[in-house]
Structure 1
């Protein structure tokens, strides 16, 4: 698909380029922050070095008799220290000075004994922006004897040229470090982030283009970080969505088929009912023994057909809320369910709902909920059903309990899914699905509260005001 390739290429180029530029920018910013104190330190060391050279020159003169100290020697010593003049002051107030061709006025006096860091940084940048040669008077202490003060008169231009050369070396080194670091970071992020994100994007785009196409999902990753989690979750999501879409397609096909055969099926069931009525009038004992089972089979067929057609035709219940006694409704549902399976002897339907508990809901739809739950209990082999209810915190809580064998863990995961959650061999798997849709339409809920060898409990919740059903 051209769109997939284009999107993936754009992701790789755009994100990679941004990472490269940002890495270089941040490294250069770090180097700039390091450069300020570094160039300041270089200037200070440069001046301290000239103080040391100046003291060495004075030591050479002090160690020689005055008669042997010639002007040529002084000039050579001053040239070695790159200075115009040197003044040395000792504690005994002894002053030694040598000079040559002293320039005019002093432009700037620098006292190295002042160690204020911000001042050194600002002075260093002031040197870099100068365009003329200033005459400097540098004052410092002797590195051998802190009590001795040394003053040097020198040009600023050579120091500025040395600082420019040092800055150039720092810049070149920074560029090398920046691009080397950026390359390593780019390669690492490309392998760890960009390329996996490209595969995720390609898989998402392909899935969006044709979600029902049976193509392999994104390969599962063994990575334990967020990217690996995203790849695994995307694969799971794609599989689930694809399965859901396929199921929806099957349901749509089933709905169309049921709608077409419903009329003919009802006619066939009507004929079967008429035949069973005639059989019931026959006095033959064998016929009388078979007739109840025939009634039961036809009744279940009618219920299954009606449930399937109702679910397919009206997936979202349309409500007509009214005020009624919940106890009466539960009693009617029990009376409806009990005759459906006459072969189950000793079946009891216990209505423990308070007589004064009123609800505002669609009576017919809520009747379907209790009827479906009762049918599921019968089909599962329950012999006792108990319905309890109470009003708590603005909600109506209803517990539908049976003493059946319970629901398996595998079935519990999809118990409310259509055509998959049937609790008995005779069901369609729509009973609980319909019950859930009705409860949700009322603004309530239904959930499996407990299931085990001692029975099953469904917890139903209804708003105290009856919900906001759709009219």
Structure 2
């Protein structure tokens, strides 16, 4: 099994942690701004409480706090100046003699989200040695508190708060990532790993059906993928078995073909001698026999090409279709005892551009199938019509329609499903289905198409359609 350098599960774990941390960052920015606002408001509220307390102790408004009290208040607020404004009257509560120039003024009554965020970032990045003056209303706004102090304590507390948020975010991110990782690993990663392992094992030995994945029966996308993978592996295993059988068959055919060509060559020599006899019956049969032997030799030469799933490219010639059909019926050689009528309904003037030998094979294969279907019913009522008809015409769109029709029992449903597939589309017991497969391949090589047409009458009706421009001359009679 190949080494997986970067696992999906590890990537998902890292991505989940980064996503949670990003969410925490988005939460942190307004959170730290709100922390700064509350920290400053607490200082102002403390100053206001101190001012109210001093007013109650000395209603006449004289010196409100003694030196020791001022020092205690400044130390408690970590400030250098504390004052309140009440009824437009400013009252100084405490002041440090070392008070210097104010670098920053913050009016809490004019804060908005944007100013809060920018102020918090400014404090974190630059708030160290600056002196700030903070003032704002307290309660119902009748009292305004004012504090002058260093920005360092605020920045220090904000950094501590940020550190705590960071640790909390890491804990939440790790916990969430582990939960997501466990869920994804159980419901997604492990099934994918199982499918990957199955594909690798199956690829090492596809003929072994025990290596086909067994679907778990899940009703989600993973279950569908497992079922489709099992179906695909099953089809591939079946195809490989068929290919192996075809390879064995091809080897056997090549051996038979070698000896059969020698036998046919000897038979051709004998038939040539028979053609020199003056017997009228021999003279009538000899040309037919010679043509059959010539075609048989050509077929033996093309057997291996078909075994390699390759047909020779058609060498098209202009052919009189009626004469070609006549030769086909002679080749089929229907015995008189079968009482099968072969009707050549092709018009005498219809010409088609096809490879004569290949198209002869197409019509011969179709007619032989029809003869076998009709001869299989010889035990039935002798009054049954047994007829094979070949007709053709040129359609309005320029296509040439060729129909091969018989009056047999028709094709069963199981044969229709794999009609033009070799070794699976046979109708009769012991058949290979190669005839229709060869016919379909040749017709497609000519740019046409072949199909079993639906017919209201009993029997089989095959329709061959050749592309426009392939026919010339007069058309035949009706083919419907």
What displacement does 1:204 show? Answer: 1.9
Contact persistence 2:104–2:130 (CA under 8 A) = yes
Aligned counterparts of 1:425 and 1:347: Cα–Cα separation in 2:
25
1:435 matched to which residue of 2?
A: 439
Aligned counterparts of 1:364 and 1:227: Cα–Cα separation in 2:
53
Q: Could you tell me which of 223, 230, 236 is aligned with 1:241?
A: 236
Aligned counterparts of 2:178 and 2:348: Cα–Cα separation in 1:
76
Q: Could you tell me which of 113, 126, 130 is aligned with 1:117?
A: 113
What displacement does 1:266 show? Answer: 7.5
1:17 matched to which residue of 2?
A: 10
What displacement does 1:226 show? Answer: 3.0
What displacement does 1:432 show? Answer: 1.1
Contact persistence 2:201–2:211 (CA under 8 A) = no
SS of residue in 2 equivalent to 1:10: coil
Aligned counterparts of 1:101 and 1:169: Cα–Cα separation in 2:
33
Aligned counterparts of 1:439 and 1:125: Cα–Cα separation in 2:
79
Q: Structure 1 pair 149/131, CA: closer, same or farther in 2 (3 Å)?
A: closer
TM-score by length of structure 2 reads: 0.76
Aligned counterparts of 1:387 and 1:51: Cα–Cα separation in 2:
108
Q: Could you tell me which of 180, 203, 211 is aligned with 1:208?
A: 203
Aligned counterparts of 1:329 and 1:44: Cα–Cα separation in 2:
104
Q: Could you tell me which of 135, 150, 153 is aligned with 2:148?
A: 153
What displacement does 1:399 show? Answer: 5.3
Contact persistence 1:87–1:97 (CA under 8 A) = yes
Aligned counterparts of 2:262 and 2:206: Cα–Cα separation in 1:
40
Contact persistence 2:402–2:464 (CA under 8 A) = yes
What displacement does 1:429 show? Answer: 1.4
Aligned counterparts of 1:423 and 1:204: Cα–Cα separation in 2:
37
Aligned counterparts of 1:113 and 1:392: Cα–Cα separation in 2:
90
Contact persistence 1:316–1:441 (CA under 8 A) = no
Q: Structure 1 pair 134/448, CA: closer, same or farther in 2 (3 Å)?
A: farther
Q: Structure 1 pair 321/138, CA: closer, same or farther in 2 (3 Å)?
A: same
2:276 matched to which residue of 1?
A: none
Q: Where does 1:318-337 land on structure 2 (aligned, <5 Å)?
A: 318-324=312-318, 327-328=321-322, 331-332=325-326, 335-336=329-330
1:50 matched to which residue of 2?
A: 43
Unaligned residue ranges in structure 2 (runs of 5+): 271-291, 375-385, 471-480
What displacement does 1:115 show? Answer: 3.5
Q: Structure 1 pair 419/83, CA: closer, same or farther in 2 (3 Å)?
A: same
Q: Where does 1:366-445 land on structure 2 (aligned, <5 Å)?
A: 366-381=359-374, 383-385=387-389, 387-391=391-395, 396=400, 398=402, 400-425=404-429, 427-445=431-449
1:85 maps onto 2:81 in alignment: yes
Report how many residues are paired.
428
1:345 matched to which residue of 2?
A: 339
Aligned counterparts of 1:206 and 1:215: Cα–Cα separation in 2:
10
What displacement does 1:127 show? Answer: 1.4
What displacement does 1:230 show? Answer: 2.3
Q: Could you tell me which of 128, 139, 146 is aligned with 2:124?
A: 128
Q: 227-236 or 177-186, which moves further after superposition?
A: 227-236
Q: 128-137 or 232-241, which moves further after superposition?
A: 128-137
Q: Structure 1 pair 108/215, CA: closer, same or farther in 2 (3 Å)?
A: same
Q: Structure 1 pair 120/59, CA: closer, same or farther in 2 (3 Å)?
A: same
Contact persistence 1:329–1:367 (CA under 8 A) = no
SS of residue in 2 equivalent to 1:223: coil
Aligned counterparts of 1:54 and 1:449: Cα–Cα separation in 2:
101
Q: Could you tell me which of 105, 117, 133 is aligned with 1:137?
A: 133
Aligned counterparts of 2:297 and 2:244: Cα–Cα separation in 1:
20
1:180 maps onto 2:148 in alignment: no
**Cα offsets for 1:292-335 (capped at 9, x unmatched):** xxxxxxxx9x9999979854443422134324357436733663
Q: Structure 1 pair 320/410, CA: closer, same or farther in 2 (3 Å)?
A: closer
Contact persistence 1:107–1:134 (CA under 8 A) = yes
2:278 matched to which residue of 1?
A: none
SS of residue in 2 equivalent to 1:26: helix
What displacement does 1:172 show? Answer: 0.8
Aligned counterparts of 2:227 and 2:42: Cα–Cα separation in 1:
64
**Cα offsets for 1:261-301 (capped at 9, x unmatched):** 34656888999xx9xxxxxxxxxxxxxxxxxxxxxxxxx9x
SS of residue in 1 equivalent to 2:83: strand
Contact persistence 2:332–2:364 (CA under 8 A) = no
Q: CA RMSD in A?
A: 3.6
What displacement does 1:430 show? Answer: 0.5
TM-score by length of structure 1 reads: 0.78
Q: Where does 1:222-301 land on structure 2 (aligned, <5 Å)?
A: 222-262=217-257
Contact persistence 2:198–2:211 (CA under 8 A) = no
Contact persistence 1:376–1:424 (CA under 8 A) = no
